Every structure is written in C-alpha cells, then in structure tokens.
Amino acid sequence: MKLMTPSKILIVSFFCFSALIGCDSDDSALDISQVDSSLRSPDADTEEKIKKTKHIYYTIPTPMETSHLLKKAGATFNYRFLNDVQNLKKYESQKSKALNLGVYGADLSFISIFDQTQETMFYMQCVKKLADDLGITQAVDKTTIERMEANVENRDSMTALISSTYQEIDQYLKENDREYTAALVILGGWVEGLYLATSLLNESEYKNEGIKTRILDQRFAYRDLKSLLKLSLSEAELEEIMTYIQPIGELFDALSETKSPMVVQTDTIKKKTMLSGDNKVDVDEKFFRQIHEVTSHIRDKIITEQL
C-alpha cells in the first residue's frame, strides 16, 4: 500500500479547502536466555536516534480479551450482572451515552464468549443505538448488524466481529479528534469488565483463584489506562476522569509485588517463545472485597447516569 505523497495530499487539501473554505520439542531446538540490562541492548548510535524521534502509544486490554480469560478461569455466565437493556432509554447526555457504550460493549463481549445468542443481538442493538446517538454510525453500520445476525450461532465469527467493531469505534473517535469521548468509552468498558470479574469472584465466595489472578492482572490495565488518558486528554478532562477511577487505582497501587528475572525460551523449530519468570503479589481476601465494593459503586454511578 502506498501512502499519499505530499504533492497528492496538497492537491486533496486544495480541493477540500476550495469546497470548504507451550514447548515439548527436544532441547536442541531451544534457545534460552535470561533477560537483564546487559543483554541485547541497542547500540549507542541507535539509542541516540531513538531519543530524537520516539513516539509512545498506550493501549489497554479489550473487553473481549478479559471475557475470554474469565471464561478460562472457570467463570459461569450470570445474566443478572449485566447492565439491563431497559436502562438504555435513561442515557441522555453525551457523556452518559459514551460511558454506557463502553459498558454495553463489555457486556456484549461477555455474552458472546458464553454463547448467549439471543442476548447478543439485544446488546448489539444497545451498542448500535448509543453509537448512532454519538455520531459513530460508520463504525456500527447496517452491514455490521446484518453480518452479526447471519453469524449469531458462530462464536468465532461473532467474537471477531465484536472485536473489530470495538476497534472501529475507537479509531473513528480518534481520527475525528474526539479523544475525550473515546476515553469515556474505554473507561466504561474497563470498569464493566472489572465489575463482572469481581462480581463473579464474589459469587464464588472468594474461592476462585483463577478469577483472582485476572482481577490482579487489571493493575496493568489501570497503569496503561492512566498513561493513555494523560497522553490524549486535556488537564481538566484528565482530572475529571481520574476522580472516577482513583479509588480503584489506590487499591492497585497499594499492592506489594516481587518480580523474578524473565527467562526467554524459544523453540526454534516451532518458532514459539515462552517468557518465564514469576511475579508474586502480596494480597488477601480483604483486597478483593474492597475492589468489588469500590468498582460496584463506580459502575452503579455510570449505569444510573450519576457520572
């Protein structure tokens, strides 16, 4: 694919302006190394160039990935944890629509992973309605809905379509300089994912170790989210959004973590790499109860239009 040359862009600009104004092989195939600061560092010359021209981007785990991990952890589907589709009509402000687009998007991912075909279409309609109201019709168009209806029994196709729709919404908002709206959608989706995880753990009476691991994993998502918001929002917007998620962040930030060195093990025949090494997090049941309580409180405010 060729990018437009500057001269072509200039021509387009002119017309726009005018119109407008796992490893089981034998050891011989393994390449093993321990990662430390002296290993495989870039040379000084490259380092200097990097400093001059580096651009940094952040992205957070998508609701689909989180839902998939929850299912793998042994979670079972529970309809009562989802945001009721009847709540849709309550959302009148643009802010509330954006936050709940994220919430319904996360619910949609969760439902599709658990093969709840009928509910999938209900929640997709909620996503479409909010996307239309926010002027993102392009990302969730009639064709997307038709393709979903045609593939409703095929989980792989549905998950691919939902992931792609989520990405289209995010890209559309960013391409159109609507970073604040994009941030609200991401925030709503992340809070809902964490709410589902903590509710499922609560339901297991805090016994499901797999779900506990996935909740702890969200500390990385919180850090990424913070960095992403810092890069894309104004100071006032950032301050407003951080007040919503600060209580969750404080709980994650208070965790004590011990890391062991990473070992990189590559199966050169299968061309697959395993990154080994342990991370120990000092945590007790009180933490999980607190994070459930705090997340439920924020999520409740989002779905009842109090934010």
Partner 1 sequence: MRAIYLVITFILLVPFIGNTQCNKFAKKEVRPILDEYTNVGKTLSTISEPGYVSDVMLTFFSGLDYRIAFGADNEIGTSYFVIMDTEENHIYSSKDDNYSKTFDFSTQVTRQLIVRIISPEVYSKDRVMGCVAIVTGYK
Closest approach of partner 1 to the CB of residue 130, in Å: 18
Q: How far is CA 125 from the centre of its chain?
A: 21
Minimum distance of partner 1 from residue 214's CB (angstroms): 8
Concatenated DSSP letters of 202-255: HHTTT--HHHHHHHHHHHHHHHHHHHHHHHHS-HHHHHHHHHHHHHHHHHHHT-
Alpha-carbon span 230 to 111, nearest angstrom: 31
Compute the least distance from the CB of residue 222 to partner 1, in Å: 10
Q: Which residues contact partner 1 (rule: CB under 8 A)? A: 1-4, 6, 9-10, 12-14, 16-17, 22, 35-37, 39-42, 46, 49-50, 52-62, 64-65, 68-69, 72, 156, 159-160, 163-164, 166-167, 170-171, 174-175, 213-214, 217, 220-221, 223-224, 227, 262, 264, 271-279
To partner 1, the closest distance from the beta carbon of 53 in angstroms equals 5
Q: Given the structure tokens 């070992």, which residue do they identify?
A: 263
What is the three-class DSSP state of 123? helix
Q: Which is nearer to partner 1, 237 or 267 (CB)?
A: 267
State in angstroms the smallest separation of the CB of 120 from partner 1.
Answer: 16
**Which CB atom, from 121 or from 262, has the smaller least distance to partner 1?**
262
C-beta separation of 130 from 88 below 8 A: yes
Whichever of 62 and 208 has its CB closer to partner 1, that residue is 62
Pairing of strands 272-276, 256-259: unpaired
Q: Which is nearer to partner 1, 45 or 205 (CB)?
A: 45
CA–CA separation, 249 vs 223, rounded Å? 8
Question: 276 or 304: whose CB is closer to partner 1?
Answer: 276
